[in-house]
A and B are shown apart, each in its own frame.
Chain A
Amino acid sequence: MVSSRFARRAFFACTALTLAQLAPASAGEFDGVTVNVMTFTGPQIAEPMQRRAPDFEKLTGAKVNVITVPFSDLYQKLLTDWSSGTNSIDAGVFAPQWMVDYVTPGLLEDLSDRVTKDAAIKQDDIAPFFREFSQKFNGKTYMLTLDGDFHMAYYRTDVAKELGLSAPKTWDDYLAFAAAANGKDMNGDGKPDFGSCISKKRNAQAYWFIYDLVGPMVQAKGTSEGVFFDTADMKPLVNNEAFAEALRLYNETTKFGPPNEINLDVGDTRNLFISGQCALSIDWGDIGSLAIDKEKSKVIDKVGAMITPGSKKVLDRASGKLVDCTADICPYAKDGVNTAPLAAFGGWSGGVNAKADPKVKDAAYAFFSYMSQPEQSNVDVTIGASGFNPYRLSQFQQLDNWTKAGMSEEAAKNYLGAIQDSLNSPNMILDLRIPSNQRYQQIVLDTAVARYLAGEIDIPTTMKTIEDGWNEVTDELGRDDQLAAYKLTIGAK
């Protein structure tokens, strides 16, 4: 009798403990607590947080204010608020790429212990790349992934069929496809449409795209080889035949794009693609989920997704020349084509201000955990307007959520398969995560490429400008420190 009563008590105690572990935030736990979260204007990314904040408040009592600023201001606004001691913002949803600049001065809260104790977040379900790279810095978890990001290529399957073309495997194939489709009416409005739409606007989110072309021509021996700098001396890998060819091809794509392509942001190219005006595009995972929007999309079940195109030639780093891929030179190539998917941005992730009030920090963590839990995120990633793309293993395995959202099973398999191809690639390109990476990419690289696309400077000048600019930033911040940070990031020895 005693033992059965003890067993019952033990059972209830265990159940209560399990429930407590599964639910890091409980009703009323954060009554009266307000969390100010900053992210970019969107409407993507802010949308799911704004949509779910009232539910989270009902569950926990914490009020979440989502404050938005333009993308180009986000890095600096958060950093200024936190480093100057203003601390009006309690948490931010931003690029894990910038984490190094926040962690070094001690501005981001170490979330490792919270994550370990939080069973509800189901960390094992998060794809290893996001769990081990995007969320962590120096082995500690500072951010929670809310979105999975990879650059991918999209093409119109109906147009490919009509033209007798298959999905482009190389950038030359991409250009041939774009040239063949350019000028055709692809959405039935009687007007000629465009072969390719790639966002190329300066001071926006376009500065990553050039590395979709540079990557497969510079990195062939795996992620730790790196694509940005020589791991021996931090010399920028930007003044060579591969970079020149990438610039040339990138400029060629503009010929088949909308006349104002160099002034288009990613939101603009996405809208063009889903309105049926583009045969090809390079984007994050967003086009896949936007394409099934019944109200806006004219390309439902007409979209093929694939790993970004590759190259049959790669850079010989000693000579600076392009050489043909062989089994030794390109060990990960398929059919002689070396691919290097770009893990651009690393997925929008939430980080907590280390100087926030302890109760507010707990509430901010609980909110990000709530957003990331499969119950919420597995739905959010299927909504195009959310801006969230798949990052959990269950999101790749369970097709129900996708078919419920309006994607055919075939399209879902194709879309998720393309992301998985990128995610599983041993030759994936990791984001530049060294201190002041903003200055390297968003100032020096972005400005030089924009000037080249505008016809202000030629290819040699563009490469020289980037090389000089990057060297200047490296020397300013300390070459040895930057090299050590770079090697650590990509896992180079």
Chain B
Amino acid sequence: MREHGSETVSDWLDRHSGRLFVMPAVLLILAFSIFPLVISVWLALSRFKLAAGGYEVRFVWFLNFRKLLLGSEQYHFLGTFIPKSLIGWAAIAITLVLIVRAVLSYVRSGKVSVLGSIGRAISYALFGALVWMLASTIGHGGQLGSLGTTLFYVGCGLAVQFTIGTALAWLCAQKIRGRSFFRVVFFIPLMVTPVGIAYTFRMLADMTVGPFAPLWQMLGFGNFEWATNQWSARLIIMLGESWQWIPFIFIVMLAAFESQPRDEVEAAELDGASAFQIFRDITWPSVAPVAATVALIRLIEAFKIVDLPNVLTSGGPGISTESLTLHSFMQWRALDLGASAAIAYSLLFVSTIVCVSFFNFVVEPARRARQ
């Protein structure tokens, strides 16, 4: 037994080897992720200005955020507010009911904790605020800001991508002819770079000389240009995004479908269960954790959408197709670094809460149900 104080270098290395091995990765993360994150906090609270000899950065506290939420950039970030319609009020009422129900359910669960309560309070408050914002900006005279537009891309895009990707995966998991061919074909868009996808989709969506132009004109839409209408422009961008990301959902879900145990399915078939019953009661519960995880990954990615609106419409018509990332990028391009960082931080705040909430309320329950 060695006495205290006579520790050798090798002993010390042995004791600290875990930390030492992790250190390079930690340093890299600090240098390339944490440090820029800290610097951008400082930028979000400052104003950048070119000056003799270089530049000046002046600390302005929350001025950049105030501009976004209450000032001259409110229309751009939150949208143009109008009196709420009946549907808007109904959406707010439904949201409130859901929140109250969730709170009651949590209280009755007997697992109330301080951290859980704070987390839920933040999630519910953000959820309510976002619904209130959407209800106040959608309708005649109203206008979605970059936050609302991003939520449209995230929500509707994820729904479309998940539904089609899962359906295609389920089909390709069946014993059908040429399924290997379809697997490769469905996977191709994922191999192309995002900007390549954007330019390809720009050609596809050109309704004057593009490949679908004859069909478009045959359907009587010759005089309608999707890029001049805010909802059709958003829809086309959302479709482009879906075209790019359906393969991702497809490939993950295909793996999930193919790895489910065959014995349960065969037993159900022997018992005379229908295909729908087998899917609902056996297949879906077994792939649900994977489905929730893949949806979470897409959710995180979807908040970052920038290539498609930038290439297809440059954010237009007006500001209709501008996502938060593109909004931030445009401010950065004009060297308004403070405003750009403030938008980026707002995006980080919203996407983190949405994704953490999704993990806690969807992914975790799906996993627990499977166990």
* A residues adjacent to B (C-beta < 8 A): 72-73, 75-76, 79-80, 83, 101, 104-106, 201-204, 258-260, 262-263, 435-436, 438-439, 442-443, 447, 450-457, 468-469, 472, 476-477
Contact = CB atoms under 8 A, between A and B. Distances in A.
Nearest to B311: A70
Given A72-B333, A201-B316, A454-B316, A262 B227 contact: yes
A373 B75 CA distance: 49
B61 interface: no
A124 to B, nearest CB: 33
Interface in B214-236: 223-225, 227-228, 230
B217 to A, nearest CB: 11
B53 A105 contact: yes
Contact of B334 (A262, A439, A450): A439
Interface in B90-126: none
Interface stretch (B44-52, B152-160, B258-266, B351-359): B44-52
Contacts of A204: 314
Contacts of B336: 439, 443
B335 A454 contact: no
Contact of B52 (A104, A263, A477): A104
B319 interface: yes
Given A260-B225, A263-B227, A453 B330 contact: no
Contacts of B53: 105-106
Nearest to A204: B314
B57 to A, nearest CB: 12
Given A454-B228, A455-B317, 15 more contacts: A76-B335, A80-B335, A203-B315, A203-B330, A260-B208, A262-B227, A263-B227, A263-B316, A439-B334, A443-B330, A450-B318, A451-B318, A453-B318, A456-B143, A456-B230
Contacts of B208: 258-260
B320 A454 contact: yes
B72 interface: yes
5 contacts: A106-B54, A204-B314, A443-B330, A450-B317, A472-B72
A76 B333 contact: yes
B331 interface: yes
Most buried by B among A106, A259, A439: A259
A457 to B, nearest CB: 8
B55 interface: yes
Contacts of A451: 318-319
A439 B228 CA distance: 25
A456 B76 contact: no
A283 B47 CA distance: 36
B316 A436 contact: no
B332 interface: yes
A436 to B, nearest CB: 7
Contacts of A101: 50, 335
Contacts of A80: 335
Contact of A104 (B51, B143, B230, B313): B51
Interface residues of B, number: 34
If over half of A's interface residues share one DSSP class (helix, strand or loop), that class is named, otherwise mixed; here it is helix
A438 B335 contact: yes
Contacts of A79: 50, 335
Interface in B326-340: 330-336
A104 B72 contact: no
Contact of A262 (B47, B224, B316): B316
Query: Top 10 A-B pairs ranked by shortest CB distance?
Result: A454-B317, A454-B318, A259-B225, A451-B318, A203-B314, A263-B227, A260-B225, A456-B318, A202-B316, A76-B333
Contacts of A76: 332-335
A102 to B, nearest CB: 9
Contacts of A455: 317-318
Nearest to A85: B54
B114 to A, nearest CB: 43
Given A447-B76, A447-B319, A450-B317, A83 B143 contact: no
A435 B227 CA distance: 33
B225 A456 contact: no
Which has the most chain B C-beta neighbours within 10 Å: A436, A456, A457? A456
Contacts of B223: 259
Nearest to B326: A203
A302 B262 CA distance: 74
A262 B72 contact: no
A83 B55 contact: yes
Contacts of B320: 454, 456
Contacts of B224: 259
Contacts of A469: 72
Contacts of A468: 72
A442 B316 CA distance: 14
B334 A105 contact: no
Interface in B194-208: 208
Nearest to A449: B318
Contacts of A72: 314, 333
A104 B50 contact: yes
Contact of B225 (A203, A263, A438): A263
A104 B55 CA distance: 10
Nearest to B332: A76
Contacts of A452: 318
Contact of A454 (B54, B230, B331): B230
Contacts of B227: 260, 262-263
A260 B228 contact: yes
B78 to A, nearest CB: 15
Q: Which of B143, B223, B330 is the most central at the interface, judged by chain A CB atoms within 10 Å of its CB? A: B330
Of the candidates B53, B55, B223, B318, the one having the most CB atoms from chain A within 10 angstroms of its own CB is: B318
Nearest to A82: B54
A260 B317 CA distance: 10
B333 A73 contact: yes
Nearest to A477: B49
A326 B181 CA distance: 77
B314 A438 contact: no
Residue with the highest number of chain B CB atoms closer than 10 Å, among A436, A454, A477: A454
Contacts of A447: 76, 318-319
A140 to B, nearest CB: 15
Contacts of A106: 52-54
B76 A436 contact: no
